[in-house]
């Protein structure tokens, strides 16, 4: 008996057996998960019979499925590793009974089985190969491990995606975009104008307090296009919800302008003069605009007086005047890549006159929404 085996023998559980005896099923169920993995990986003799391995595999994979399905934080890495090790050792025992002189020890099958089940669940190849090699410390298993993980990834991908992506898609409110657009969506001649939302909620460069408050109260968008209605409705930029909330919270608004003294048209200014008899409205300090805590407050916490609803806020100093935009003739594939690679929440669609004609959000790029657009050939055509 090797030194490693002599240490692992101490982890075997007697469970009512006589002296110098052990119970194979209890040794797998009533030991720590790390010790059970070591027993399956390193015991060179055929320590566990076929019936014990079958019972342990079925019970463990069943319990792992149930606990993960009810969202109990029990983990899935070690259960997959244990279930795969038990199944691989089971096949090793059967192969040894068929041809005892031509097959490897069952612990080798245990390692390959653990890699296959873990790879089929997580669909990782290189990282799992490194992890399992470090756990065994034997570089001769590089090739069989890579083959097993590659086959598990290919076979699993024929039926569905990996378990973590499936769980993300099942979570309500979590709209996860895959790393690339599906080929059927990208090759269906869809453009940004086909999938965009045409009902655009926007604000003007100089907007009334009541309009901004009503917009924030009725929708939960994180960013809004700024459209200059006095200049052929050209896109001026974008402004975030957080900025609008801060301007309302700190009262950065003033009296309405008169026809005799129109609003200033400069883009960059240090103050805003709305009326010759009124006070200047100073700009909001950066530390207040980008405060870390509390990061964002609710619109219900901001109280706007009725007489203040007719006042105006100059949004020009706070606008992002170079937002990410696409033409309405841009392909869906290109729009998808821009949206996902830049981590956007809002992608503005403009026409050749730089007028905002629609917006694209994460909801518009989901597979279900794209499939509906493919059937109707675009909802805005």
Q: Is the pLDDT of residue 94 over 50?
A: yes
* φ, ψ for residue 70, nearest 5 deg: -95, 15
What CA–CA distance (Å, rounded) separates 356 from 227? Answer: 7
Per-residue pLDDT tens over the stretch 307-321: 888 888 889 889 999
**What pLDDT is stored for residue 270 in this prediction?**
44
Tell me the mean pLDDT in the region 317-332: 92
Q: Is the pLDDT of residue 32 over 90?
A: no
End-to-end, the C-alpha distance of the chain in Å comes to: 77
Give CA separation, 263 vs 239, 259, 351, in Å: 19, 9, 28
Q: Is the pLDDT of residue 59 over 80?
A: yes
Mean pLDDT (the chain) is 81
**What pLDDT is stored for residue 15 in this prediction?**
81
Q: What is the band of 4 on the pLDDT scale with cuts at 50, 70, 90? A: low
What CA–CA distance (Å, rounded) separates 316 from 142? Answer: 60
**What pLDDT is stored for residue 276 in this prediction?**
46
**What pLDDT is stored for residue 376 in this prediction?**
72
**What pLDDT is stored for residue 79 in this prediction?**
86
Collapsing DSSP to helix, strand or coil, 347 comes out as strand
Q: Is the pLDDT of residue 263 over 60?
A: no
Tell me the mean pLDDT in the region 270-298: 63
The two beta strands, 234-240 and 223-228, are antiparallel
**What pLDDT is stored for residue 202 in this prediction?**
94
**What pLDDT is stored for residue 273 in this prediction?**
52
């Amino acid at each position: 008996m090797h030194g490693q085996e002599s240490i692992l023998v101490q982890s075997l559980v007697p469970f009512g057996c006589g002296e110098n005896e052990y119970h194979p099923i209890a040794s797998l169920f009533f030991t720590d998960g790390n010790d059970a993995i070591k027993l399956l990986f390193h015991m060179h003799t055929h320590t566990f019979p076929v019936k014990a391995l079958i019972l342990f595999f079925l019970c463990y994979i069943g319990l792992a499925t149930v606990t993960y399905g009810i969202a109990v934080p029990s983990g899935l890495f070690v259960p997959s590793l244990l279930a795969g090790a038990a199944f691989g050792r089971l096949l090793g025992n059967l192969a040894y009974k068929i041809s005892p002189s031509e097959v490897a020890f069952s612990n080798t099958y245990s390692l390959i089985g653990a890699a296959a089940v873990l790879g089929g669940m997580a669909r990782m190849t290189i990282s799992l190969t490194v992890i399992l090699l470090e756990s065994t410390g034997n570089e001769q298993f590089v090739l069989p491990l890579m083959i097993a993980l590659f086959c598990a990834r290919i076979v699993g991908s024929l039926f569905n995606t990996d378990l973590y992506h499936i769980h993300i898609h099942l979570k309500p409110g979590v709209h996860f975009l895959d790393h690339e657009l599906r080929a059927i969506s990208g090759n269906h001649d869809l453009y940004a104008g086909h999938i965009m939302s045409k009902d655009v909620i926007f604000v003007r460069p100089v907007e009334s307090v009541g309009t901004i408050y009503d917009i924030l109260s009725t929708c939960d968008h994180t960013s809004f296009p700024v459209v200059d209605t006095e200049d052929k409705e050209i896109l001026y930029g974008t402004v975030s919800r957080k900025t609008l909330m801060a301007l309302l919270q700190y009262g950065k608004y003033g009296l309405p302008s008169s026809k005799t003294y129109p609003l200033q048209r400069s883009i960059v200014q240090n103050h805003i003069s709305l009326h010759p008899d009124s006070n200047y409205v100073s700009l909001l300090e950066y530390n207040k605009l980008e405060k870390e805590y509390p990061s964002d407050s609710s619109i219900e916490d901001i109280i706007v007086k009725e007489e203040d609803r007719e006042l105006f806020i100059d949004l020009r100093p706070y606008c992002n005047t170079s937002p990410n935009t696409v033409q309405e003739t841009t392909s869906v594939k290109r729009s998808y890549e821009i949206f996902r690679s830049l981590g956007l929440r809002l992608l503005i669609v403009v026409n050749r006159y730089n007028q905002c004609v629609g917006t694209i959000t994460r909801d518009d790029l989901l597979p279900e929404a794209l499939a509906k657009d493919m059937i109707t050939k675009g909802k805005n055509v």
